[in-house]
């Protein structure tokens, strides 16, 4: 019988292409065992489950761990994910940190998530605040995951989802607008597991990666309620370019950095008139 520790080490060695090789192996082992990773690490005297080998092969072929396990943790929630949806990234939590700083002791009552994917930012916001929200996405696959995630998290009564192209068909204003648009230039290099598996429509935004920001810049002024804000994710070299697009539409923006100290979010507000 191969000890669990040896199986994990062998798997991590095969995942040398990953920056989180050991973590990947542990997540897959826990999934194969039907356990939480923490529970697995507390008891390593277990036999290696037969299902683990197939999971290792899938990961070695560059399939994302989140697609293999079907779940991804984000902020304070766990989300079901799979092919056809963008996998939530820890960097995107910067948007919630920035929004929390803006609202301080008060809470947004209404939230709009443009490009919601599997409900990532909207459902995280609704777990943070007693708000109601709307998620918009062009992808039927993504919206299917979002609806299921809202139900699993007990938020179906506070979260609604609609198909749409950003905020084009949205009528009304929201205290908090969240958006993680595509921002990769079409010629930029990406890891095989991203380019080969995640949806291109959620990644690429024209040659300069700014196409969707140009749309959002025109829409945000009418979507942000008085005293509210928008938290918009950006590529770490895009703050100046995206900030200029927003400024041209009369919006003010402040850069927030992620845990890696890279520009990651623009906190956008509408300056008071007069």
pLDDT at 187: 81
d(CA 250, CA 269): 9
pLDDT mean over 113-125:
98
DSSP 8-state assignment for residue 130: S
What are 184's strand-pairing partners? Answer: 204
Judge whether residue 2 has pLDDT over 80: no
The band of 234, judged by pLDDT with boundaries at 50, 70 and 90, is very high
DSSP 8-state assignment for residue 206: S
pLDDT at 164: 95
Torsion of CA 186, 192, 196, 201, to 10 degrees: -30
Question: How distant, in Å, are the alpha carbons of 5, 51, 63 from that of 59?
Answer: 18, 13, 5
d(CA 161, CA 28): 31
Q: Locate tokens 């489950």: which residue?
A: 49
Q: Are 122 and 92 in contact (CB under 8 A)?
A: no
Alpha helices of 116-177 — where are they, by DSSP H?
Answer: 120-128, 140-152
Among residues 164, 179, 158, which one has the least CA distance to residue 110? 158
pLDDT tens readout for residues 154-213: 999 999 999 999 999 899 999 999 999 999 988 888 888 898 899 988 888 888 999 999
Q: What angle do CA 182, 184, 190 make, to 5 degrees?
A: 120
The band of 1, judged by pLDDT with boundaries at 50, 70 and 90, is low
What are 176's strand-pairing partners? Answer: 111, 229
Where are the chain's structural domains?
4-61, 72-269
Q: What angle do CA 258, 69, 236 make, to 5 degrees?
A: 20
pLDDT at 65: 97
pLDDT tens readout for residues 63-99: 999 999 999 999 999 999 999 999 999 999 999 999 9
pLDDT at 75: 97
d(CA 177, CA 253): 13
User: What would the DSSP string read from start to end of 102-120?
Assistant: HHTTS--SEEEEET-TTTH
Compute the half-sphere exposure of residue 97: CA atoms within 13 Å on the CB side of its CA: 16
pLDDT tens readout for residues 245-273: 999 999 999 999 999 999 999 999 998 87
Q: What percentage of residues in the chain have a pLDDT greater than 70?
A: 99
pLDDT tens readout for residues 127-150: 999 999 999 999 999 999 999 999
Among residues 107, 118, 162, which one has the least CA distance to residue 142? 118
CATH 3.40.50.150 is the classification of domain 72-269: yes
Q: Locate tokens 């810049």: which residue?
A: 217
């Amino acid at each position: 019988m191969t000890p669990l520790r040896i199986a994990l080490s062998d798997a991590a060695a095969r995942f040398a292409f990953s920056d989180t090789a050991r973590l990947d192996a542990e997540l897959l082992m826990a999934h194969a065992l039907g356990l939480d990773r923490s529970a697995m690490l507390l008891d390593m005297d277990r036999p290696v489950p037969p299902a683990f080998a197939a999971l290792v092969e899938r990961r070695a072929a560059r399939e994302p761990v989140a697609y293999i396990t079907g779940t991804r943790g984000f902020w304070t929630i766990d989300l079901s994910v799979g092919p056809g949806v963008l996998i939530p990234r820890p960097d995107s939590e910067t948007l919630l940190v920035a929004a929390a700083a803006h609202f301080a002791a008060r809470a947004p009552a209404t939230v709009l998530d443009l490009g919601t994917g599997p409900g990532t930012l909207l459902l995280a916001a609704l777990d943070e605040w007693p708000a109601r929200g709307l998620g918009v996405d062009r992808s039927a696959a993504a919206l299917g995951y979002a609806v299921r995630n809202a139900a699993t998290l007990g938020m179906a009564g506070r979260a609604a989802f609609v198909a749409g192209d950003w905020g084009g068909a949205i009528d009304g204003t929201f205290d908090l607008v969240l958006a993680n648009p595509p921002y990769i230039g079409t010629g930029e290099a990406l890891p095989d597991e991203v380019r080969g598996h995640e949806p291109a429509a959620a990644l690429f935004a024209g040659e300069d990666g700014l196409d969707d920001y140009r749309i959002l810049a025109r829409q945000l002024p009418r979507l942000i309620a008085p005293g509210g804000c928008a938290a918009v994710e950006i590529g770490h070299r895009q703050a100046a370019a995206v900030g200029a697009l927003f400024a041209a539409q009369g919006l003010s923006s402040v850069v927030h950095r992620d845990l890696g100290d890279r520009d990651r979010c623009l906190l956008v507000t509408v300056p008071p008139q007069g």
